[in-house]
Structure 1
Amino acid sequence: MELPTKLTPKKTNRRKKRSKSGHKKPAINSVNVISKNISELSLDNNYVEVLTSLNKSRQVQLKNSQLKCDVQTDHVKGINNLTKNSKHTRKKRLDKQVKEEQFPTYFTETEVEEGLKSGQLIKGTVRINPKNPQHAFVSNTDSTQPDYFIKSVLDRNRALEGDEIVLKLKPEEEWMDGQKTAEVVYILNEVHSRMCVGILKPLEHNSEYAVLVPRDKRLPTIHICSLSWPGGFAKKPKLYQNILFSVKILEWNVTTHAKGIIVDQIGLCDDLKAETLSILKEFCLDVTPFNIDQIKDYLPKTKNIPEKEFQYREDIRTECIFTIDPLMARDLDDAVSVKKLSNGHYEVGVHISDASYYLPEGSPLDDTVCKKATTIYLVNNIYHMLPVNLCLHCSLLPGEDKLGFSIFWEMDENGQIFSTRFARTILNSCVQLAYEHAQQMIDDPDKEFTADELPKIHNGFTPKDLSNTISVLQKIASNLREARIRNGSLRIDQIKLLFSINPQTGEPLDFMAYENKEAHRLIEEFMLLANISVAKKIYDSFPDIAFLRCHEPPKYTMLLAAQRCLETCGIHIDISSSGAISNSLKKYITEDCQGLCRKIVLNHIFTKPMTRARYICAARQKNKNVFSHYALSVPMYTHFTSPIRRYADIMTHRLLAASLGYCEKPQWTVDHVRAIANNCNIKKYNAKRAAEASSDLYLAVYVNSHQPYIQDCVVIDVKDRSLDVIVIKTGSCVRVHQNKCQGQPKWDLETIPSAALDSNQDSDTERNKKIYRLILTYPPTKVYHKSQTVIIEMFSIVKVKLSKLPNKYKLNAYMLRPKISHR
């Protein structure tokens, strides 16, 4: 099928956005690169000409080939005033307006400032329920209290996922089960880009608008004016029923729909390349190639290290230093070393690529990298934060002199640290080991490796040297990990899939679950220690602009609900601290099949209450306890060990260099650091979600090509008309609806009495979620001569047939009738 010509964006002017009342919205720091207006998009010249010619009566003017925000507003008003072609269309529109609810006007900036100061208004971030977008939540600053509940799209008042908003509480009589309800009265920062991906469909008896149905249910349907339709859509809309479009929301005045404009035509549904591009667009990730003309002056011209660097850096090229990474890794950020000291202690070294040396602050290259903020890892591709040639230049490749930033600890084999020092270094890695190689050395320290069993070893070292080094590091790492766990560290793992891809077609051939072995944990332990050490150093040196990473405690009410739910199954979890949760979970996780199922369910349940770790500027925090990292159970943490793929680490490197006297203290304002932290938070989270979506896409394609695909699943929640299960092999969470059960069994629910509330806990602060047991009664059939009763509750195992949903990369679940065992 021939696809219509794409609409290609190009740059336009930015104009400050005003509220309904005419007051300007608060300015946003220039470092924040999140899209705010359609002005950040651009339109194909031909398309602009069409808009201009069709809207001359509305004086749509183009200046310097840029479409300004006032033109957007005028264009949307012009759309609203288009001639109505028939009485039928007018009647349909009038009927529809009766059902529509107009959003209330936002408070003025002055009203917001006064309300926040007096405590009558509340500031927060919107979280929308992805399965029921009518409902949204904003965290309560008091973690012992339930979140504020926004019970409708009208009350959400045009706010989208992640937006920073201002709330006004509803009257107490409108609260629900003791949970405070609220409405949005102002949007401080439109964090969501207002971009979405979906399918374009015609509206019945309406020649002026089509409707874009977003894939993300949290977004409204979007009416697209005929001026924005692709060529041929008006006459043959069915040609477009399987084509994905990228759309920008321009206006959203009524609850039923927004209005927007097509930005790009992505491609066909189910095409892996088009679907991957749609994921990148949906999560607003910039994968635009670097402009070589702008950055070429900042790229290294030779592999040779400048002579001046030898004058002040510590030369450690003769030491046994090596990397341990995934087998096909290209970004080699970190290396490790260890040597025995004369006093019987060890000097353990972690050596990180000095990528910040090649990234002059404020240069065009630095500005571009700052906006990208992170490397994006999808199943079929890696989109690097740095230019690819700079990635290779910075990577600690074996046998090559490299610039590093090193941390050295003097410690004993128990992991007790006696001293810590930092230094800029010149190093030469002797080998690039994979985790598989390191694991063999851990499993069999005395193994004699042949030349073809390991990669080439440089600098005169032998396999035995590597094996001895890994043995010492493994012993220290194990003791460090045990001490960290005793201190309260909590780890909640979820299944991560690795795919093998057909090089000709790009389709998935097979997949496997990522296995976290001792070799992975060895490296992880020393990277954690490095990050903890650097956090303390940069905060002690620059408490006003230290770039830290905090992880706030989980929502207590959600932890309490999880605890009560599990007690109905005979599982008792102490939720008083991260360490208490960790110790409690260990009691129920065993190596057998039942223990594996319990682990999957428990990890899922305790992932939900956890807050998202985030980067912060230390000066913005009034309480030093805010710096702490709940899951790691440490008072202070940062990211330092991956500067090739995270801009946050570049920030930390610059601060560490200044703290050691290698350069002057950065002249950063608190607002500058905070803006970069916010951008890093957004881009890191979006990159994570894109990686998960990419994995879902390839899994759905694999399932679709391997029908029938039947898997064992463990039940995590029974609802009144459905149940949620996790596929044991893939970790996918899918919903089985009542009408998706083989044999059409009778569906009966039994309420399980929940544990009594603690006497100190006010029942009004806990939303009373009912916990169900499902009783399925299957009728007799030709195959099953007798009726059959099956009881399903949390931790039950069921067989489910999985299939791919049409035009989506989501899985559909169909529960099979259990077979009757004959004894």
Structure 2
Amino acid sequence: MLQSKSFVRKTKQGKVVKVVREHYLRDDIYCGASSCKVCDSSGARLTSSASTILIVDTNVVLNQIDLLENQAIDEVVILSVVLEEVKNKNLAVYNRLRALCSNSMRKFFVFSNEYHRETYVKAMVGESPNDRNDRAIRVAAQWYQNHLGNATRVLLITNDRENKRKATEEGISAETVESYVKSLGQPGLLDLLVQPPSQDLGMEEVEDLRPSKRKIIYTEHKPMSEITAGLHRGIYHQGKLRVNRYNPFEAYVGSESIGDEIIIYGRPNMNRAFDGDIVAVELLPQDQWHEEKSLSIVDEEDDEEENVHLVPNSADDAPRVTNQMQGSVGDANAVLSRPSGRVVGVIKRNWHSYCGSLEPMPMPAGSGGVAHALFVSKDRRIPKIRIQTRQLGNLLDKRIVVAVDSWDCLSRYPSGHYVRTIGEIGDRDTESEVVLIENDIDNRPFASQILACLPPLPWSVSSEDLANPIRQDLRHVRVFSVDPPGCKDIDDALHCTALPDGNFEVGVRIEMTPEAEIISTRYTKSVIKSCAALSYVEAQARMDDSRLMDPLTADLRNMNALAKVMRQRRIDRGALTLASAEVKFQIDTETHDPLDIGMYQIREANQMVEEFMLAANVSVAAKILEHFPLCSLLRRHPSPTREMLEPLLRTAAAVGLNLDVSTSKALANSLDRAVGDDPYFNKLIRILATRCMTQAVYFCSGDLTPPEFCHYGLATPLYTHFTSPIRRYADVVVHRLLAASLGIYKLPGIFQDRPQLTSISDNLNYRHRNAQMASRSSVELHTLIYFRKRPTDTQARIVKIRSNGFIVFVPKFGIEGPVYLTGRGDKGSGEWLVDEQQQKVKKIDGSISYGVLQTVRIHMEVVEPQPNRPKLQLTLI
């Protein structure tokens, strides 16, 4: 059956055109119930024993997805009209719903009501899209009840009062989410329900609910129409809010409209915005702007004190740590204040689930009732969240997951709901899972559809593989691998064969002169047989042992000699040799606890492998771009702005260094000259330089122009990731592009869809960033475990000055953290001055001063200033 509808629309050129759309309706769309005598039940998802089948409306899915994911909720029909509406309103919830519907262990069935002849409904004259969709849901529910008969109850779940009323009048069974959950007899499920904003009361209002006690704590957010107009007129500025990890009452919004970061100081000025929210900001009057170093680092127990995050407006409530400004108005060396502002609206929320624990509290009188509790996230940047729970006694010693529902301007804290329990607080496996959840990393087993793409185990190279003309047999070549010790993915396979003409053939299929000039590059699928699986340490030991003259060691030495030439050539082009504070743990094989901790050591063997992987990546980037100029997946590293490099320049100037940052080559040369008597000084400067860089990102070649493709850090015009497909999805995409460029496989259709490729690139960048953050969090977790029973005295370097202390870096352990100079309640002699010009903080009487990059001796010890939030405390000795 064919339905058609027509409408007129105006084009961008102002022409009016008639659009006709055809809608095909069918009779053979099955209901999905195995008990049905009419439909084909071979693909049924709903069981025959189900006495009740649920149909949920769009708002239930959008607001109660945590409840739907609970195993207690099953036998659910998801209508196509609901699925499409959810997709348009919230892509994250849509993906979670699709995962539920495709999970063979769950009984969720998608019914295409929009294409079934008996359930499709036309919009009536004057009917809103929302009302039409509600009517379509009711029609589908009625059809299901008639179709399945009285043996099965079909229940519509909706919190829409009008929709429920109409359903009841039409003879459809309907209940609210809460009433249905109560009927299940599992009180804990009620904790999963999202509470409507009207119930958003602050903890201080719970004891007295009289309206007169309600007071406005935060400013109302501006409506989107006013925000949009303000952005166009330059009154407001848009950007992503980033909360300082050392001070949750200090945030920054990077604004393209003013070309600088705007400081947002204090919770009132943050105005209920969360870390990662896209916000609209209004600049404060200039006399309220803050100079960055006058801001402070906040101690754990200060987290929720109002006086900590109020902006000083007068001398009476100014901070006791003052800022010594150098120079005068006309002085070129004068220190200028940074733009400060306040959030006037949230354009896009970044709310998600958070991991933490409940703030300790006495059990309320009686049992089984609703308790109001405060949830404290492990991430200090997240404010406390108020939840209601009926299982307080079971949750007080657990790490739990909580989702945010709303934040009313009358409430000090946002409101949320309990999602699930992770495990006991302090348990290593529990805390490791917290790291994954907090960074949105899915560690569930691969789905059956993904595993179906792999050949069955046990697998070995077959005669058919060897006979395939697209795959070259290279088992006769002396191939070896060099990887980190204990590495499970042995992927850095190399070979270096001396040719009769004096040149070398180097894996990954690059021929090459003794001067490391690439003569030609060849790409092929192959079969190899590794003669040795070496770690970096083992490879380095072979190269260093002059007694070893075997062919494998000779290959290593030849490759290392070529790599040194290649590396120097990159440096001559302007490639940066940066450094990072990468930490290495020695783990007990039985307990999995850390036995030792230290900075990761880079050897020549590491650099050798890196050079050839870089060469392969550059070569592949050129190959795929040649064949697919508009749909290649590349990786770029944008040049840092002068503003981004300013902290590095200030630090360098304070210790007498003059860094030239005009080009990557100039910066590289400056870093090479930044040496002193201290052997660690240069590495520290390079670590600080690394932190001023932009993030390298994946992108679709059709989205940018060739000059924007360049990789600043590597000083190369083209780059991609090809060499680690077992670790990165980006490499898998690039392998498909390369195979298509060689005519081995046909290019998948998705590569013709540039917006889709752009979306994939954005997701790759998001996932790559999350993996980095998870790595850092894992280091912090294992650092806490290691130092819990090992208080230690050691040396540290000051890397950032703040008004009440400084941030230090501990070279021996690769750890960074705050050191406080002012304790709570310090008076008089505890006052300090910040000297911006010299990058120093000193006592008013001049008796003590500390400067950036200065070495200090500190004591490291794990403490717990707030329950269930242990931290590594660094104090001056």
- Trace 1:197-208 onto structure 2 (pairs within 5 A): 197-202=356-361, 208=371
> 1:139 aligns to what?
254
Does 1:813 pair with 2:871?
no
> Bigger CA drift: 804-813 or 468-477?
804-813
The structural deviation recorded for 1:640 is: 0.6
Shift of residue 117, structure 1, vs aligned partner:
8.0
Which residue of the partner structure matches residue 710 of structure 1?
793
Structure 2: distance between partners of 1:272 and 1:85: 35
Which amino acid in the other structure matches residue 871 of structure 2? K
Partner residue of 1:602?
A: 685
Match of 2:821 among 714, 735, 738: 738
TM-superposed deviation, 1:425: 1.4
- Matched residues in 2 for 1:663 and 1:530: separation? 21
2:435 matches 1:267: no
Query: Quick check: 1:339 aligned with 2:497?
Result: yes
Q: Distance in 2 between matches of 1:776 and 1:119?
A: 42
1:333/1:103 CA distance change after superposition, 3 Å: farther
CA distance in 1, matches of 2:773, 2:270: 23
Alignment partner of 2:708 out of 592, 612, 626: 626
Structure 1 counterpart of 2:476, which letter?
T
How much has 1:571 moved relative to structure 2? 1.7
Alpha-carbon distance in 1 for matches of 2:248, 2:232: 31
Alignment partner of 1:656 out of 722, 738, 747: 738
Alignment deviations for residues 71-109 of structure 1 (CA, whole Å, 9 cap, x no partner): 999851288199999995225x854x425215415515x
Question: AA paired with 2:717?
Answer: P
| Partner residue of 1:319 out of 477, 497, 505 | 477
Task: Measure how far apart 1:526 and its partner are.
Answer: 0.6
RCO higher in structure (CA 8 A, sep ≥6): 1
Larger radius of gyration: 2
Quote how far apart the aligned CAs of 1:266 are. 2.0
* Alignment pair present for 1:195 and 2:195: no
How far apart are residue 536 of structure 1 and its match? 1.6
Q: Given the alignment of the two structures, is residue 80 of structure 1 paired with residue 195 of structure 2, yes or no?
A: no
Cα offset for 1:813? 1.3
Instruction: Say whether residues 1:230 and 2:386 are aligned partners.
Output: no
Residues 1:575 and 2:661 aligned together = yes
Aligned amino acid, residue 728 of structure 2: R
SS state at 1:431 partner: strand
Q: TM-score, normalised by structure 2?
A: 0.68
Equivalent of residue 417 in structure 1, options 518, 521, 526: 518
Q: RMSD of aligned C-alpha atoms?
A: 4.5
Match of 2:116 in 1: none
Residue 464 of structure 2 corresponds to 307
Distance in structure 2 (CA, Å) of the matches to 1:731 and 1:626: 34
Match of 2:542 in 1: 441
Contact 1:58 1:78 in 2 (8 A): no
CA distance in 2, matches of 1:268, 1:546: 46
Given candidates 208, 212, 217, the residue that maps to 1:100 is 217
The answer as to 2:797 corresponding to 1:720 is: no
Within 5 Å, give how 1:628-777 maps onto structure 2.
628-668=710-750, 669-707=753-791, 709-739=792-822, 746-747=829-830, 749-752=832-835, 754=837, 771-775=839-843
Structure 1 distance, partners of 2:581, 2:494, is: 28
Q: Cα distance, 1:147 vs. partner?
A: 2.3
Aligned residues of 1:588 and 1:595 also touching (Cα < 8 A): no
Residues 84 and 90 in structure 1, CA contact (< 8 A), matched pair in contact too: no
Question: Which residue is equivalent to 1:213?
Answer: 376
1:649 Cα shift? 0.4
- CA separation of 1:505 and 1:425: change in aligned 2, threshold 3 A: closer
- 1:152 is displaced (CA, Å) by 5.3
Amino acid at match of 1:232: G
Q: Is the 8 A contact 2:729 2:764 kept in 1?
A: yes
1:90 is aligned to 209
Spell out, residue by residue over 1:328-358, the C-alpha distance to the aligned partner (whole angstroms, 9 max, x if none): 21201221112223332222112xxxxxxxx
Displacement of 1:673 in angstroms is 1.4
Give the distance between the partners of 1:680 and 1:478, measured in 2 at CA. 32
Deviations 1:133-156 (Å, cap 9, x if unpaired)? 3443333448x9322444555665
Q: Provide the rounded CA distance (Å) in 2 between the counterparts of 1:34 and 1:776.
A: 58
For structure 2, the residue ranges without an aligned partner over 5 or more in a row are 1-65, 108-154, 162-173, 290-336
What per-residue deviation string (whole Å, max 9, x for no partner) do you get for residues 638-663 of structure 1? 11100011111001100111111111
Q: Partner of 2:591: helix, strand, or coil?
A: coil
Which residue is 1:563 aligned to? 649
**Aligned mates of 2:265, 2:773 — CA distance in 1:** 25
Q: Distance in 2 between matches of 1:291 and 1:37?
A: 10
AA aligned opposite 2:381: R
Q: Helix, strand or coil: the match of 1:422?
A: coil
Residue 615 to residue 184, structure 1, CA distance change in 2 (3 Å): farther
Contact 1:194 1:249 in 2 (8 A): yes
Amino acid of the structure 1 residue aligned with 2:402:
V
Percent of matched pairs sharing the same residue: 26
Q: Is the 8 A contact 1:32 1:676 kept in 2?
A: no
Sort the Cα spacing of 1:540 and 1:324 in 2 relative to 1 into closer, same or farther, 3 A: same
Segments of 5+ residues of structure 1 without an aligned counterpart are: 1-5, 234-239, 351-407, 449-462, 755-769, 778-787, 817-823
> Shift of the alpha carbon at 1:287?
0.9
- Show the counterpart of 2:317: none
- Whether contact under 8 Å (1:133, 1:217) holds in the other structure is yes
- 1:439 Cα shift? 0.5
Q: Residue 113 and residue 528 in structure 1: after superposition, are their counterparts in 2 closer, same or farther (change >3 A)?
A: farther
1:672, distance to aligned residue in structure 2 (A): 1.7
Please state whether the residue corresponding to 1:656 is helix, strand or coil: helix
Alpha-carbon distance between aligned partners in 1 of 2:581 and 2:81, rounded to the nearest angstrom: 43
Q: After the TM superposition, which residues 48-127 of structure 1 pair with which residues of structure 2 at under 5 Å, given as runs?
A: 60=178, 75-77=194-196, 80=199, 88-90=207-209, 95=213, 97-107=214-224, 124-127=239-242
Counterpart residue identity of residue 511, structure 2:
E
Please state whether the residue corresponding to 1:694 is helix, strand or coil. helix
Which one of 243, 248, 253 corresponds to residue 403 of structure 2?
248
Q: Which segment drifts farther, 192-201 or 470-479?
A: 192-201
Q: Is the 8 A contact 2:385 2:415 kept in 1?
A: yes
* Corresponding residue of 2:414: 258
Matched, 1:802 2:863: no
